[in-house]
């Protein structure tokens, strides 16, 4: 198979061998080293071996390889690469693509003649299962490949894949191979287990023989991390402010590298960055581009093609370019702001320097000075190989309810048989018979009803016990609904003269008046009107434009990174005390930072020659000194609590460094415990470093009750009672209700007709809480809060850590560097960004 002089990697050959043996497993390889070929060629070789005489002539072999990929955008590139190989071998295989962009005529063609390879998204795979006669499609299928499995695992899309795999495995009586492809994550073993669960333990294999393999690509991928340091340290850091001021340091980096990817955490900020780069360096016009999820597909494709061809000097992007095929011209990556996790940082770094043996170069650009601490933490975490796990989701009833509807509109299902199949998946292996009965009851009877006055109609039980949806209207609505990605209602943005620019939240556009200018896809657009669910715009030359905001999920800091941050804080604190390694660190020169990193094995990034204190921490010294002077610098085993009184009221700041989600839960718990002793109201804010409780009256927390309030005792009960779990559940419920089919988002192009079926998640949450509190989907929302946010284990660990350590209480006379970002973030809600800027400047002046 060594064609065109290319030599396969060892991991590719290993994978082919396993595929030929009919095993299932997981291939762990970074992008850009032929992971696609490792599985695709394996499937081809397998086919050739089975048809040694006529493999070149044999056509219409039916579906052989199902390629599940999370990204639509990837399909075309992968398909092209596959077709090249097929042509090279002179075979008759066809490659088909099936996703939301596939037009109906192509679908029809596929129905008549299935291609041998079908590249599909999880959503489209479910749509396939919603088609009558789907078992026929899978009859000839040999291999299901799941690409970017690490990206799917831990999300509801991953659960969708699990369900689809269980059905396909069911149709095939497990005569099937499943192969996942994943980047490095902390729990690869578990990732494999989840993916292959529905294949069972592999009956028919000799005892002791391992049916399920993991192949790890041993490819050197050295990573070089460098922080972009501000010349002067802002002693009062606030998010978003510093980043743009460092833009002059970015320009030289762009200049000296062929192509640079600049990763920004939010779509809104990426628009701002794009504009600012052009302002700072007008020469870049035409050589830089913008890429994020709300930009029209055609524009994005153009950017991607231009990237491939090396036409662009830089692309400002968001997570939209996290995945996917490699852009070989990319030599450098700049990460703006915290990547929130080690795995993501590594993945982004890996987008540069794709040629084997090349160094991946990534710069870290802080958006506020404290973030520099994260850079130091990231480096240490990479060094120690602390890569996050992706925790698989369990018992997602909303996804299950949707899946049952999907099966009910195609072939229908028999509960007993399907239950066995579901139990074989990882997600639903713990589902009880009672829960199953409840689910069946819910989809057939619709919960609490007024018997003879009810006309609930969804899934019906046929005479032979088959569960089926017969109503064509219900079936049609269900098809429109398949998927687990819930977005705010979006409007397309189109030029009056024609041509789409992208999408924008309805909420944002509803606040604009005609004539207002906003920016999207790097262009200034004047809003004209809304027509047919489309926002019409025309180009504008206005200097000032509003930057839209998209309500994307904010990633919380990972536990690994949090732990590392606390350690860095400890180092910083000791640095101030001038003890331990400090002297050494101070004596050390910049070499310590720039020391060459030796290459290590893939997955473990070796950074050597780093002794003493990180340069980032040393640069932050003035900030730490101010923090110590005004308040206190906590060590690793200390929890700092600051209480400050301002015009807004009484603030309580706590800094556990555990990430936003855990802080939200912690804030709720603490507020609950305090409010048990006195009647009091709070509002709160949190970031990844800590949280704030704000009240209109003094908050009764001092050394007499601090340990008690943070005690791990009664944690379980307090979490249950903790107020805010309801509020958090309310927010979770939105997604749950959409996925579970309670919220109908309307027919495309037929907005008005669905009007009488409109309701909001918040209203439904109220209604169910009052009238059907045990409803499965409500419980689902609470469970998600418990699992993901109020995660008892992590909370308990944190409280135990606090109990074992020391709580340090301070009453600073004014705002401290630590609390400043929290305070500023909370102001953001009342003010526009420009005024905010002024106000903060004023505050900073007052503080000096």
Partner 1 sequence: MQPAFPYRIKGQQLWLSPDRCIFWEEERSLILSDLHFGKTGHFRKAGIAVPQSIYREDLLRLLCQIQYFQPRQLLVVGDLFHSKENKELALFLKWREDFPDLGIRLIEGNHDILHEDWYKKAGIEVCSPVLEIGPFAFIHDITDESVEKSADPAADGRGIVGTPYYFSGHIHPGIRIRGMGRQSLQFPCFYFGADYAILPAFGLFTGTVSVEPAADAQVFAILPPSGERGWAAGERGRTPGERGTAPGERGMVHRREAVGPAVSGNMDRRRMPMARPWSSGVKGPGSILQIQ
Residues 224-283 that bind partner 1 (CB under 8 A): 268
- The order of strands in the sheet holding 117-120 is 95-98, 117-120, 65-68, 143-146, 177-182, 24-28, 212-216
Does 72 interact with partner 1 (rule: CB under 8 A)? no
Q: Which is nearer to partner 1, 430 or 727 (CB)?
A: 727
Phi, psi of 363 (to 5 degrees): -100, 145
Q: Which is nearer to partner 1, 604 or 645 (CB)?
A: 645
- CA dihedral over 735, 741, 743, 748, signed as positive or negative: positive
Q: Specify the pairing of strand 649-654 against strand 691-695.
A: antiparallel
Does 681 interact with partner 1 (rule: CB under 8 A)? yes
Q: Which is nearer to partner 1, 474 or 799 (CB)?
A: 474
Pick from 361, 660, 779, 823: which binds partner 1 (CB under 8 A)? 660
Pick from 151, 371, 398, 664: which binds partner 1 (CB under 8 A)? 664
773: region left, alpha or beta (phi > 0 left; psi from -120 to 50 alpha): alpha
**Of all helices (H) and strands (E), which one includes residue 96?**
strand 95-98
Does 724 interact with partner 1 (rule: CB under 8 A)? yes
- The order of strands in the sheet holding 691-695 is 691-695, 649-654, 638-646, 806-810
Q: Which is nearer to partner 1, 574 or 730 (CB)?
A: 730
Q: Which is nearer to partner 1, 159 or 512 (CB)?
A: 512
Least Cβ distance, residue 655 to partner 1 (angstroms): 16
Find the binding residues for partner 1 in span 76-115 (CB under 8 A): none
Does 700 interact with partner 1 (rule: CB under 8 A)? no
Least Cβ distance, residue 558 to partner 1 (angstroms): 18
Find the binding residues for partner 1 in span 112-151 (CB under 8 A): none
**DSSP result, 415-478:** HHHHHHHHHTSSTTTT--HHHHHHHHHHHHH-SS--GGG----S-EE-TTS-EE---HHHHHHH
**DSSP result, 574-629:** HHHHT-TTHHHHHH--THHHHPPPPP--TTS----S--SS-HHHHHTHHHHHHHHH
- Chain-centroid distance of CA 399 in Å reads 18
Find the binding residues for partner 1 in span 809-828 (CB under 8 A): 825-826, 828
Least Cβ distance, residue 709 to partner 1 (angstroms): 15
CB 258, CB 242: distance < 8 Å: no
How far apart CA 195 and CA 179 sit, in angstroms, is 8
Using CB atoms within 10 A of its CB, is residue 173 exposed (0-12), middle (13-18) or buried (19+)? exposed
Pick from 276, 471, 705, 844: which binds partner 1 (CB under 8 A)? 471
Q: Which is nearer to partner 1, 186 or 741 (CB)?
A: 741
Least Cβ distance, residue 761 to partner 1 (angstroms): 7
Find the binding residues for partner 1 in span 751-790 (CB under 8 A): 756-772, 775
CB 333, CB 260: distance < 8 Å: yes
Least Cβ distance, residue 785 to partner 1 (angstroms): 13
Q: Which is nearer to partner 1, 186 or 240 (CB)?
A: 240
Q: Mark residues 552-581: x for contact with partner 1 by CB under 8 A, - for none.
A: --x---------------------------
Does 730 interact with partner 1 (rule: CB under 8 A)? yes
Q: Which is nearer to partner 1, 272 or 425 (CB)?
A: 272
Q: Which stretch binds partner 1 (CB under 8 A): 10-18, 70-78, 92-100, 686-694?
A: 686-694
Give the CA-trace dihedral at 8, 10, 16, 20, to 10 degrees.
Answer: 130
How far apart CA 603 and CA 343 sit, in angstroms, is 10
Q: Specify the pairing of strand 460-461 against strand 517-520.
A: unpaired
Does 618 interact with partner 1 (rule: CB under 8 A)? no
Q: Which is nearer to partner 1, 36 or 687 (CB)?
A: 687
Q: Which is nearer to partner 1, 153 or 764 (CB)?
A: 764
Pick from 186, 600, 741, 817: which binds partner 1 (CB under 8 A)? 741
Q: Mark residues 341-380: x for contact with partner 1 by CB under 8 A, - for none.
A: ----------------------------------------
Does 675 interact with partner 1 (rule: CB under 8 A)? yes
CB 180, CB 190: distance < 8 Å: no
Least Cβ distance, residue 755 to partner 1 (angstroms): 9
Q: Which is nearer to partner 1, 276 or 683 (CB)?
A: 683
Using CB atoms within 10 A of its CB, is residue 556 exposed (0-12), middle (13-18) or buried (19+)? buried
CB 157, CB 427: distance < 8 Å: no
Pick from 448, 529, 595, 608: which binds partner 1 (CB under 8 A)? 448
Quote the radius of gyration of the chain (alpha carbons, Å): 28
Helices 397-409 and 776-784 pack at an angle, to 10 degrees, of 140
Mapped onto helix, strand or coil, the DSSP state of residue 543 is: coil
Find the binding residues for partner 1 in span 535-554 (CB under 8 A): 548-549, 551, 554
Q: Which is nearer to partner 1, 9 or 682 (CB)?
A: 682
Q: Mark residues 631-650: x for contact with partner 1 by CB under 8 A, - for none.
A: -----------------xxx
Instruction: Count residues near partner 1 (CB under 8 A).
Output: 86
Residues 6+ apart with CB under 8 A from 220: 356, 357, 599, 600, 601, 602
Does 28 interact with partner 1 (rule: CB under 8 A)? no
Mapped onto helix, strand or coil, the DSSP state of residue 30 is: coil
How far apart CA 200 and CA 178 sit, in angstroms, is 12
Find the binding residues for partner 1 in span 828-847 (CB under 8 A): 828-833
DSSP code of 311?
Answer: -
Q: Which is nearer to partner 1, 284 or 729 (CB)?
A: 729
Q: Which stretch binds partner 1 (CB under 8 A): 25-33, 119-127, 319-327, 442-450?
A: 442-450
Find the binding residues for partner 1 in span 474-533 (CB under 8 A): 474, 477-478, 488-489, 505-508, 510-511
Residues 6+ apart with CB under 8 A from 302: none
Give the CA-trace dihedral at 117, 122, 127, 128, to 10 degrees.
Answer: 30
Q: Which is nearer to partner 1, 225 or 401 (CB)?
A: 401
Q: Which is nearer to partner 1, 70 or 237 (CB)?
A: 237
Least Cβ distance, residue 388 to partner 1 (angstroms): 22
Pick from 22, 202, 293, 447: which binds partner 1 (CB under 8 A)? 447
How far apart CA 438 and CA 735 sit, in angstroms, is 20
Q: Which is nearer to partner 1, 107 or 481 (CB)?
A: 481
Beta bridge partners of 335: 263, 364
Does 694 interact with partner 1 (rule: CB under 8 A)? yes
Q: Which is nearer to partner 1, 638 or 692 (CB)?
A: 692
Pick from 473, 543, 544, 848: which binds partner 1 (CB under 8 A)? 473
Does 677 interact with partner 1 (rule: CB under 8 A)? no
Residues 6+ apart with CB under 8 A from 623: 233, 234, 235, 237, 369, 370, 817
How far apart CA 366 and CA 230 sit, in angstroms, is 9
Does 404 interact with partner 1 (rule: CB under 8 A)? no
Pick from 696, 708, 713, 837: which binds partner 1 (CB under 8 A)? 696
CB 177, CB 12: distance < 8 Å: no
Pick from 742, 785, 799, 824: which binds partner 1 (CB under 8 A)? 742
Least Cβ distance, residue 619 to partner 1 (angstroms): 28
Q: Which is nearer to partner 1, 355 or 760 (CB)?
A: 760
Q: Which stretch binds partner 1 (CB under 8 A): 208-216, 327-335, 576-584, 687-695?
A: 687-695
């Amino acid at each position: 198979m060594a064609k065109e002089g290319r030599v396969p990697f060892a991991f590719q050959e290993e994978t082919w061998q396993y595929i030929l043996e009919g095993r299932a497993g997981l291939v762990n390889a970074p992008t850009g080293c032929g992971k696609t070929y490792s599985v695709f060629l394996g499937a081809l070789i397998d086919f050739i071996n089975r048809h040694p005489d006529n493999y070149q002539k044999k056509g219409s072999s039916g579906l052989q390889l199902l390629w599940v990929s999370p990204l639509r955008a990837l399909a075309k590139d992968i398909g092209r690469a596959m077709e090249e190989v097929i042509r090279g071998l002179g075979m008759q295989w066809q490659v088909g693509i099936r996703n939301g962009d596939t037009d109906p005529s192509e679908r029809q063609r596929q129905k008549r003649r299935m291609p041998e390879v079908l590249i599909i998204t999880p959503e489209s795979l479910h749509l396939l299962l919603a088609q009558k006669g789907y078992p026929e499609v899978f009859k000839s299928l040999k291999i299901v490949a799941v690409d970017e499995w690490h990206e799917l695992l831990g999300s509801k899309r991953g659960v969708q894949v699990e369900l689809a795999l269980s059905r396909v495995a069911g149709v095939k009586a497990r005569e099937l191979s499943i192969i996942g492809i994943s980047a490095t994550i902390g729990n690869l073993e578990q990732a494999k287990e989840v993916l292959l669960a529905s294949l069972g333990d592999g009956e028919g294999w000799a005892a002791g023989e391992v049916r399920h393999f993991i192949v790890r690509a041993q490819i050197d991928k050295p990573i070089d991390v460098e922080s972009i340091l501000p010349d002067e340290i802002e002693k009062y850091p606030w998010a978003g402010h510093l980043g743009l001021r460092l833009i002059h340091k970015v320009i030289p980096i762009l200049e000296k590298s062929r192509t640079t990817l600049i990763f920004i955490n939010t779509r809104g900020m990426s628009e701002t960055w794009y504009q600012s780069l052009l302002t700072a360096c007008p020469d870049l016009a035409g050589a830089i581009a913008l890429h994020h999820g709300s930009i029209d597909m055609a524009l994005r494709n153009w950017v991607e093609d231009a990237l491939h061809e090396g036409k662009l000097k830089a692309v400002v992007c968001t997570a939209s370019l996290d995945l996917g095929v490699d852009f070989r011209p990319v030599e450098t990556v700049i990460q703006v702001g915290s990547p929130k996790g080690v795995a993501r940082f590594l993945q982004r770094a890996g987008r540069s320097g794709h040629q084997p043996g090349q160094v991946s170069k990534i710069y870290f650009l802080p958006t506020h000075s404290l973030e520099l601490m994260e850079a130091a933490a990231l480096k240490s975490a990479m060094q120690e190989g602390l890569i996050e796990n992706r925790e698989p989701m369990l018992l997602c009833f909303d996804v299950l309810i949707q899946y049952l509807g999907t099966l009910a509109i195609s072939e229908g299902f028999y509960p007993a048989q399907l239950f066995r199949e579901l139990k074989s998946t990882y997600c639903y292996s713990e589902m009880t018979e009672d829960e199953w009965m409840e689910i069946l009851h819910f989809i057939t009877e619709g919960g609490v009803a007024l018997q003879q006055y009810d006309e609930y109609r969804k899934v019906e039980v046929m005479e032979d016990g088959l569960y089926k949806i017969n109503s064509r209207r219900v079936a049609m609505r269900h098809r429109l609904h398949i998927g687990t990605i819930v977005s705010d209602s979006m409007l397309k943005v189109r030029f009056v003269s024609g041509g789409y620019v992208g999408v924008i939240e309805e909420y944002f556009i509803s606040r604009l008046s005609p004539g207002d200018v906003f920016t999207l896809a790097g262009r200034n657009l004047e809003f004209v009107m809304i027509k047919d669910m489309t926002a019409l715009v025309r180009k504008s030359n206005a200097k000032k434009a509003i930057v839209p905001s998209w309500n994307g999920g904010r990633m919380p800091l990972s536990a690994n990174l949090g732990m590392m941050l606390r350690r860095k804080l400890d180092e910083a604190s000791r640095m101030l005390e001038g003890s331990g390694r400090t002297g050494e660190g101070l004596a050390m020169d910049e070499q310590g930072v720039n020391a060459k990193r030796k290459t290590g094995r893939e997955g473990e990034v070796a950074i050597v020659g780093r002794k003493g204190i990180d340069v980032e921490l040393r640069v932050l010294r003035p900030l730490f000194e101010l923090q110590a002077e005004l308040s206190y610098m906590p060590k690793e085993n200390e929890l700092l609590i600051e209480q400050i009184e301002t015009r807004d009221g009484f603030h309580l700041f706590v800094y556990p460094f555990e990430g936003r989600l855990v802080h939200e839960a912690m804030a709720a718990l603490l507020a609950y415990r305090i409010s048990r002793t006195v009647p009091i109201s709070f509002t709160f804010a949190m970031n990844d470093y800590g949280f704030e409780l704000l009240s209109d009256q003094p908050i009764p927390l001092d050394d007499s009750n601090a340990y008690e309030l943070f005690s791990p005792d009664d944690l379980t009960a307090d979490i249950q009672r903790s107020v805010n779990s309801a509020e958090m559940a309310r927010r979770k419920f939105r997604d749950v209700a959409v996925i579970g089919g309670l919220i109908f988002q309307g027919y495309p192009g037929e907005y008005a007709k669905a009007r009488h079926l409109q309701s909001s998640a918040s209203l439904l949450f109220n209604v169910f809480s009052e009238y059907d509190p045990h409803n499965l989907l409500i419980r689902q929302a609470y469970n998600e809060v418990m699992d993901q946010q109020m995660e008892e284990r992590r909370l308990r660990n944190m409280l135990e850590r606090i109990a074992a350590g020391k709580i340090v209480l301070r009453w600073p006379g004014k705002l401290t560097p630590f609390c400043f970002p929290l305070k500023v973030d909370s102001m953001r809600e009342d003010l526009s960004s420009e005024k905010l800027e002024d106000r903060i400047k004023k505050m900073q002046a007052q503080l000096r």
